[in-house]
Each structure stands twice: as C-alpha cells, then as structure tokens.
Amino acid sequence: MKSIVRQEYWDNSYENVEFKVAENNSDITNLLDQYISNIKNKSVFEFGCFPGSYIAYLGKRGAIISGIDLTPRTREMTHWLETNNISIGKIRLGNVITDKNSDKYDIVCSFGFIEHFEDWKTIIDLHDAKVEKNGIVVITCPNFLSPLNWLYHRIFDWENLDRHNISSMDMYLWEKYLLGKKYDVLFCGNIGSPKYWFDTNIKNQRINDFRNKVTIFLNNNIKKIKMFEGNKPINAIVAIKK
C-alpha cells in the first residue's frame, strides 16, 4: 500500500520548514490537553512525525516521544528535540507501511496522515499494533468531508484537495472500526473554529489574488454567515484500547 502522494512532494515541501513546538490553545493541542492527562514519562509515538510540532508539545509536558517518517530531514529532529529538553525514545527515518519495529507505546497518534492513503483501515491497524493495552490512539485530519469545505478546496485549492482521499477522512467510519476492535471512544467529531485556508500558491497571479481575497472575506465574515458555522476544520478521534 502506498500513499496517494509522491514522497518527492513531501520532501520538497518540507525542505525549508522550521521546527517549532505547537502553540498552546490551538485546535489540536486543546484536544490533547482535554483527553490526555498525567502524561509525564508516558511514551508517545507518531506516524508521519515530521516536523513533530505536536509530539514536541507532548514532550514539553513530560512525555517520551518517538516517531517515524520518510522525509530525509527527519534525521534533524533528534537534535532539535534535544535542544528543547525533550525526552526522546526513537525518532526513525523509515517507511511506515513496511516498518517491522514491534515496540509499543502508551499513546499512538497521527496528525494529517490517514487521509493520504486509500486504505484507511490499514492505517488504523498500524496504530492499533503500536499501542499498549489501555493506551490511547489519537487520529486527526483536515475536514474536507464537509460539502462546503470540499467545495471551497475544489474551487480554490484543487491541487491540495487531490492529495487527499476524501473517503479516508470520515471519523465516524474510524469510530465504527475502532469500536469493532473493542476500543472505548472518548471523542469523535469535528474540532476548531470554522476557517478557510489553501496550501500553495499557483502561477497565475490573477487567480491567486482572487483566491486570497475570497479566503480573507470568508474568514472575516464566517461567523456572520450561518451556513458556514458547522464547518469546523479538523476531524478527530480519541480512543482507548481495552
């Protein structure tokens, strides 16, 4: 099983990305704070861990963090984490799908990973294989499943939309699958305040300028337009392995 996105795209996209710890009170860190407590000295593993903002956030709270990613700059993460006084288990450069490492962890997560694969069940199986009994699985992805969000990205962000498999973004299907594996689901739904964004600029400057203006208008007026209120930007699930 391969990602629907060529690895070369990620390598080029991440070439100049700066490492940073995720901010307090962001959509995803609020989710982590709400459902993951007493994290000191707990082991955390992230699939697709580069550039590591969210596991670094958990590391700052006392977790011992590990992860795997194919992006070559993953090699740089260990030094960055060490300079931030974050405890490290193993940060490995490798293929998530073919990796044979059998270590297990208290918390296994991925942020914006599952939607780049057609076989989302296999991705959840990978999480399941890595997490200890009574451990926690956290999975998030952008909410392109919402019709209005999908329409926005189809019109203004089509190249980015095509890098996402919409059928893999349904958190209620994730929930049904995890319940079948005897997990207790702590949370399943959308998070964050409605907002619109696009991934990359395009060469046609007129189209690019128009897209910028529409996006700014939507984000400035989204609270006034009731039809947009339910379009939270992130799909998420948090579940405990029983």
Q: How far is CA 141 from the centre of its chain?
A: 5
What is residue 52's predicted lDDT score, i.e. its pLDDT? 97
Task: Give every CB contact of residue 218 below 8 A, 6+ residues apart in sequence.
Answer: 152, 196, 228
Domains and CATH numbers, the chain: 7-143+162-194+233-241 (3.40.50.150)
Closest CA to 122 of 162, 168, 183, 188: 168
pLDDT in tens, 153-171: 788 888 888 888 999 999 9
Query: What pTM was computed for the model?
Result: 0.90
Binning pLDDT at 50, 70 and 90, where does residue 229 land? low
Q: What is the 3-state secondary structure (H, E, C) of 73-142?
A: HHHHHHHHHHHCCCCEEEEEECCCCCCCCCCCEEEEEEECCHHHCCCHHHHHHHHHHHEEEEEEEEEEEE
Q: Which residues of 108-121 are buried (b: 16+ CB within 10 A; e: fewer)?
A: bbbbebbbbbeebe
Binning pLDDT at 50, 70 and 90, where does residue 225 land? low
The two structure tokens encoding residue 31: 């989710």
Is the pLDDT reported for residue 172 higher than 90? yes
**What are the two backbone dihedrals, phi and then psi, of residue 21, each rounded to the nearest 5 degrees?**
-80, 135
